[in-house]
Amino acid sequence: MSKTNDDNWVKISLNHSEFKKLKVDEINTIEEEKNPIVSQLSQDIHNSNPSPYLLSGYRGAGKTTLMRKVEAELESRISLKEKRILFVYVSIPKYQDINHILRKISRSIYKAMSDYELKHEEFKFDKEVKDKIELLYIKTFYQVTDSYRTFEKSNKQYSFSSDFNIQKFLTLVSPSILLLFYSLFNITKFNFPTYITLLLVVFSITWLSFALKINYKFTKDNQNEKEELIKKLYDNEIAEEELLEALSEICKEINMVLILDEIDKIEKDEDVDILINELKPLMLSEYIYTVLVTGQNLYYQYYLANSKDNAVISSLFSKVVHVPILNVTKFEKLLRDVFSGVESNHENLLRNYIKSKIFESNRIPRRLFNLMHQDIIWEENQAKIRINLNQKEYLKWNSEVFDIITSIEEQILDQGYTDGIKDFILNQLHNWVKKIISLDSGFTKMIILSTSIEEKHPLKDFNALEEFLDSLINKLLDSKKIILESTDTDEEIYRLNYTKELIKGMKGKSNSYEIEKMYYLREMIEKIYLNTNKAENINIDEDNKTTEEKLYDLNIFDTSLVSNNISFKSSDLVRDILNVLKFDEKNITKANLNKVNILKYNLLEEYVYYLIRKYLDKEFLVKQEGTKRSNIMFDIMASDENHTFLFEIKLIKNKSAAKSTLINEILRFEKFMEKNLFSNNEINLGILIFIEEAIFEKDEKQILSFVNNQLEQYKEFINVKIISDFNYIQVKELLDEMNNKRKVILE
């Protein structure tokens, strides 16, 4: 536990604009060998018929960025006489039914078309095609019902009428009958000229036609009507049919590349399989190029499918492209170039830092940049990487282990594996080392193999992985990174070769927490011993005593204090601590570990108790058990006739716990004051906060600023001190502040 200052940290200037370029472009700026992938994929899309592609790679490897590069490459490659190309990006980070997916695709196509027209003002899609896509777009937000009405009507009418009046008939017909009779009679009896007779007959008949007017009316009306109302259904199949129909129209004007992105974020492989089956009609359509952007698991399926009969995935994709993880040499050089003004004595530190971060990131670009971003600080608008010197050995260890993994990479390349399988093996090598770090109690080869590999890995039925693990373990043994612990059992047992400095650097980065606690207790004893000697003005420059000897010295520290019964330690505590410290790192028992936290607090309380008795005015009676009235207990209490000083000692892991700790103590003090337990005395509370992890001075100021705001109404009663390195002077400063308040009151 130490207060951070310039001696604990190294700050190296960073060209943030260059770093940002690397981070934004993630992978294509970084590795020139990725450019052939861009070139090959763009040419393949440009010259081939529409078909589905598989683009695989680890999360953060730069798959989406690579597709953006392909888009830019194709835009620059296509001539004005050729059909244009439209890229449509659809994000599918979680599994949804096909209806939701089709809606997403329709929305994305519409937006991509609109954006394309804005970007290329000289180009406009056919209005009918755009309207069709717009309707699909609207249907993704609203329920739209298409209805059709058909109507049939037939009408036939027949009419015949008659009107017969007997009286009128006789009146009109009589002259005609007489003339007709006369004419006929004349023909037979008289010999009038023939033409006269014919004229009489014609006249008689004509007169009769006027007389005989028949008006008879008959009506028959036959009318038929038929009406049908048709409402169009809209289910998944129809939605897919309409989308394919719209795509067929769009692709008469422009080629389309549909990128189904972020599929690697779908957690279950089964859901990915279902999604692919549902999208198969779209992917295999003759209208669009489809690029499925997914993780390494689907690549493994494709790799294994080649050895299986009738595997669907083996015949689905016309081309499979894998985005490989970083080329170490080139990437390390590019990262090194973003730093400036590196002092010669920090060159190795920076080199180890860069390699360590690449190792921690498993060589995944996005993960690497995020890790480095955590270490960036700003000073007067200048970015700097902050490296903790306490992690110097840890960074060196990581760097050397990373070199070991890189040497095994050459062995992988010699065996002719594809990029995807090579990346799988490299990823396992990184994970194996991290697993070894976490298994501080020892490990076997079988434990590493069984706990660190995905269930569906591509080399499951081969012995290749065990071969690479053997190579890793042998190299770690040769470099003394691990040690062979036991050969008594059927399997050899190995263990990480810990050192104190390595453990210090691994704090918060490994699961070796038990060993960390043991080292921290020893470190705590060292620092308390150092401070106690300084408090007694003892020269310790030539002190080469062991931790155990220093602990004994603390117990019988000052004969004059011992004679006054003010010994620094009780013999029971010393004995308990010594028993715990006699651990063998090869065989740490949980019983010992469970005592460590208790002993740390007891040791710290004894130390503060010693300092209070040494520096507080002699009029005070100091009790280590504190006060336990009304279930409100404080660690140490010192009182005289008029004043009561209460002391609460806190040992916390890091600065983030400081504020909540202070709030809790203030609340406890409020309850204590409400009880008015010492009505005749002035009461002051001193809170001593020891923080295990290193903190910056600005962090301490922030905490104290927070304290001042919280203590506004209690500033006369509560004093707080943030203590680093168990510094006795800071404890003395707190006691002086409390003493001064007492003297003011007395005056």
State how far the Cα of 260 lies from the Cα of 293, in Å rounded to an integer: 6
The answer to whether the CB of 117 falls within 8 A of the CB of 125 is yes
The answer to whether the CB of 362 falls within 8 A of the CB of 429 is no
Name the percent of the chain lying above pLDDT 90. 11
Which residues are paired to 386 by β-bridges? Answer: 11
Is the pLDDT at 743 greater than 90, yes or no? no
167 pLDDT band (50/70/90 cuts)?
low
State how far the Cα of 41 lies from the Cα of 25, in Å rounded to an integer: 18
- Output the pLDDT for position 395: 92
Look up the pTM and report it.
Answer: 0.60
Over the stretch 244-269, which tens digit does the pLDDT of each residue have? 888 888 888 888 999 999 888 888 87
- Output the pLDDT for position 631: 57
The answer to whether the CB of 51 falls within 8 A of the CB of 318 is yes
The more confidently predicted of residues 709 and 476 is 476
Mean pLDDT computed over 148-169:
52
Q: What is the dihedral of CA 386, 388, 389, 393, to 10 degrees?
A: -120
Residue entry with tokens 């009318």: 223
- Output the pLDDT for position 461: 57
- Output the pLDDT for position 479: 92
- Output the pLDDT for position 520: 73
Is the pLDDT at 21 greater than 50, yes or no? yes
What rounded mean pLDDT belongs to the chain?
Answer: 76
Is the pLDDT at 443 greater than 80, yes or no? yes
- Output the pLDDT for position 3: 42
- Output the pLDDT for position 307: 61
419 pLDDT band (50/70/90 cuts)?
confident
The more confidently predicted of residues 443 and 648 is 648
The more confidently predicted of residues 517 and 356 is 356
State how far the Cα of 674 lies from the Cα of 710, in Å rounded to an integer: 18
Is the pLDDT at 285 greater than 50, yes or no? yes
Over the stretch 574-583, which tens digit does the pLDDT of each residue have? 767 776 666 5
Mean pLDDT computed over 463-479:
89
Over the stretch 175-216, which tens digit does the pLDDT of each residue have? 656 555 655 555 555 555 556 656 655 665 665 555 444 444
Q: What is the dihedral of CA 732, 733, 738, 742, to 10 degrees?
A: 90
- Output the pLDDT for position 318: 87
Is the pLDDT at 160 greater than 50, yes or no? no
Across 172-176, 397-401, 413-417, least confident range: 172-176
- Output the pLDDT for position 563: 44
- Output the pLDDT for position 441: 61
- Output the pLDDT for position 63: 87
Is the pLDDT at 145 greater than 80, yes or no? no
Over the stretch 323-339, which tens digit does the pLDDT of each residue have? 888 778 777 877 888 88
Mean pLDDT computed over 51-75:
88
Mean pLDDT computed over 576-601:
65
Over the stretch 510-520, which tens digit does the pLDDT of each residue have? 545 556 676 67
Q: How many CB atoms lie within 10 A of CB 737?
A: 14
Name the percent of the chain lying above pLDDT 70. 68
The more confidently predicted of residues 144 and 448 is 448
437 pLDDT band (50/70/90 cuts)?
confident
Q: In the chain, what is the greatest distance between 2 CA atoms, to the nearest angstrom?
A: 192
Amino acid at position 361, single letter:
S
- Output the pLDDT for position 216: 47
State how far the Cα of 224 lies from the Cα of 156, in Å rounded to an integer: 9
The more confidently predicted of residues 291 and 138 is 291
- Output the pLDDT for position 630: 47
- Output the pLDDT for position 562: 43
Provide the 3-class DSSP secondary structure of residue 719.
strand
Mean pLDDT computed over 446-456:
72
b/e per residue, 690-700, with b = 16+ CB within 10 A? bbbbbbbeebb
- Output the pLDDT for position 530: 83
106 pLDDT band (50/70/90 cuts)?
confident
- Output the pLDDT for position 271: 87
Over the stretch 656-680, which tens digit does the pLDDT of each residue have? 777 788 888 888 888 877 766 555 6
Amino acid at position 254, single letter:
I
All residues at 6 or more sequence positions from 57 whose CB lies less than 8 Å from its CB, including other chains: 63, 295, 296, 299, 322, 323, 324, 325, 423
3-state DSSP helix/strand/coil percent for the chain, to nearest 5?
A: 55, 15, 30
- Output the pLDDT for position 718: 86
Is the pLDDT at 532 greater than 90, yes or no? no
